[in-house]
Amino acid sequence: MALKDLQEWLYGCTHCGTCKDVLNIFSPACPAGEKYQLESYFPSGKMLIARGVANGVLNLDDDDTRERIYACTGCLSCEQQCGVYHHQHIFETVQALRSEAVTQGNLNPAYMVMVESLKKDDNVFGKAKAERGDWAKDLKIKDAAKEKTDVVYHAGCMLSFDPELWEIPRSAIKLLEAAGIDAGIMGAEESCCGGRAYEIGYDGEFTKYAEHFIETFNSLGAGKVITSCSDGYSTFKKLYPKMNIEMKFDTLHTAEYLDVLIKDKKLKFTKKVPLKVTYHDPCHLGRHLGESGIYDSPRNVLKSIPGIELVEMERNRENAWCCGAGAGVSQANPDFALWTANERLKEAQSTGATALVTSCPWCVRNFRDAVKKYGENIEIYDIAEIACKAL
Ligand code: SF4
Ligand code: SF4
């Protein structure tokens, strides 16, 4: 939504500071504010910036102003903690500021590669479109672009183009096979969901991808789209319905689908996985979905794996601290992204867990990079990788 259409919400913030901490436990909630320790990076500061831009007092050609609106992981923790009537529109306001910057031509140079790559190769990493299905090259999996399948597995950009993460979609496919599901992938014909373009302010690119995606998947005739990407999942569930195009398929996250398959007794775990783990709730699989946030399914899957002991971090479920990678931060501001991830790893280690499990490739990538940079002694897994070990 354009900034001018959000006027109603810009004056809602009372600057009470409640959003700085998780309610009742007083642990930090906003990665941007905590990292930079300046009011202008906290949600209340961002709302003031939005007012200033809307009133012409601040300009988006100012580097310091833009720095603050891009220093936001879109984690929605502020929206969770804030009790004022505008609370559901805080990140929408940040996104509107980013969109306004793009409209005015005040572009963030860090995103130019991403945007050019989207236009040329349908992905956010500057990789060749033809390489998109390489993660599944030696797998015997149906080509959903050529033959009808009950389920289409959507890998998304991160899992398609980061070979160090290929074990995640490969594990997901093995689990679907073990449960006897008729599944296929789109391979090189798959495209970006457009979610990242939306969050960094490229509304036009987002619309293009959303229309293409819905029309393509409607034409496939598959009843279900399964994805292991939390960003993609939240894009399908939260952003696509706003396009007002009928979606003839249901979308499930891998964690959600595994939970269903276990309950239906289609998927059985036989091997022990002796690990003490803690679970990190990805923002896009939790807070971004409001009351439909997926918190129980991944925990149910973990509890059904023999040998797993699940312990909780203090900030969990709706109050989880962000991994730091969201809303384009890992691409434009890696220092901020990795600092945020390491704060979470310290919290994970304090539980006594030797592994952190999550359900999003952006989280996995950022946590593994933070382990490399900061040296916390903890293993990082996606839920599909852990579940596959128990087959
Ligand atoms: S965003 Fe909400 S919680 Fe945060 S300072 Fe403003 S009114 Fe208070
Ligand atoms: S979305 Fe997250 S990083 Fe952005 S202002 Fe809110 S709490 Fe801070």
CA-based radius of gyration for the chain: 20
Range of the domain at 194: 110-262
Query: Of 107, 123, 154, which residue constitutes the final position of a domain?
Result: 107
For the entire predicted model, the pTM comes to: 0.96
Judge if 142 and 243 occupy the same domain.
yes
- Quick one: which atom of ligand 2 is closest to the CA of 322? 2
74 and 144 assigned to the same domain: no
306's CB contacts (< 8 A; 6+ apart) are 269, 270, 271, 272, 273, 390
* CA 169–ligand 1 middle distance (angstroms): 39
| Whether 242 and 117 share a structural domain | yes
> Mean pLDDT of all residues in the chain?
95
Same domain, 121 and 256: yes
Nearest ligand 1 atom to the CA of 82 is 3
Q: Does 136 lie in the same domain as 173?
A: yes
Q: Which atom belonging to ligand 1 lies closest to the Cα atom of 86?
A: 2
User: pLDDT tens, 27-65?
Assistant: 999 999 999 999 999 999 999 999 999 999 999 999 999
Let me know: does 363 contact 282? Beta carbons within 8 Å: yes
User: Are 126 and 211 in the same domain?
Assistant: yes
For residues 250 and 122, membership in a common domain is answered with: yes
d(CA 84, CA 87): 6
Task: Give a yes or no: residue 279 inside a domain.
Answer: no
Long-range contact list for 16-21, CB < 8 A, 24+ apart? 16/44, 16/84, 17/42, 17/44, 18/81, 18/82, 18/83, 19/43, 19/44, 19/77, 19/78, 19/81, 19/82, 19/90, 20/81, 21/81
Same domain, 76 and 17: yes
d(CA 192, CA 361): 14
Cβ(324) – ligand 2 distance below 6 Å:
no
Beta bridge partners of 279: 357
Residue 271 in domain: no
Q: Ligand 1 centroid vs 330 CA: distance in angstroms?
A: 25
Measure the N-to-C terminal CA separation of the chain; round to a whole number of Å: 46
Do residue 52 and residue 172 come from a single domain?
Answer: no
Ligand 2 near 359 CB (within 6 A)? no
Residues 30 and 145 in one domain: no
Q: Are 74 and 157 found together in one domain?
A: no
Let me know if residue 329 belongs to a domain. Answer: no
Q: Are residues 143 and 172 in the same domain?
A: yes
315 — phi, psi (to 5°)? -95, 100
Residue 289 lies in a domain: no
Residue 25 lies in a domain: yes
CA of 365 to the centre of ligand 2 (A): 20
* Residue of 87, 91, 98, 329 to test ligand 2 pocket, by largest number of atoms within 8 Å of CB: 91
Domain count, the chain: 2
In a domain, 357, yes or no: no
Q: What is the pLDDT of residues 112-125, one digit of tens each?
A: 888 888 888 888 88
The minimum-distance atom of ligand 2 relative to the CA of 31 is 3
Q: Are the CB atoms for 380 and 356 separated by under 8 Å?
A: yes
The pLDDT tens digits along the chain (391 residues) read 788 889 888 999 999 999 999 998 999 999 999 999 999 999 999 999 999 999 999 999 999 999 999 999 999 999 999 999 888 899 999 999 999 999 999 988 889 888 888 888 888 888 999 999 999 999 999 999 999 999 999 999 999 999 999 999 999 999 999 999 999 999 999 999 999 899 888 999 999 999 999 999 999 989 999 999 999 999 999 999 999 999 999 999 999 999 999 999 999 999 999 999 999 999 999 999 999 999 999 999 999 999 999 999 999 999 999 999 999 999 999 999 999 999 999 999 999 999 999 999 999 999 999 999 999 999 999 999 999 999 9
The answer to whether residue 335 is domain-embedded is no
Give backbone dihedrals phi and psi of 142, rounded to 5 degrees, phi first. -65, 150
Q: Name the residue of 40, 78, 288 whose CB sits within 8 Å of the most ligand 2 atoms, as the mutation to test its pocket.
A: 78
Q: What is the Cα 335 distance to its own chain's centre?
A: 18
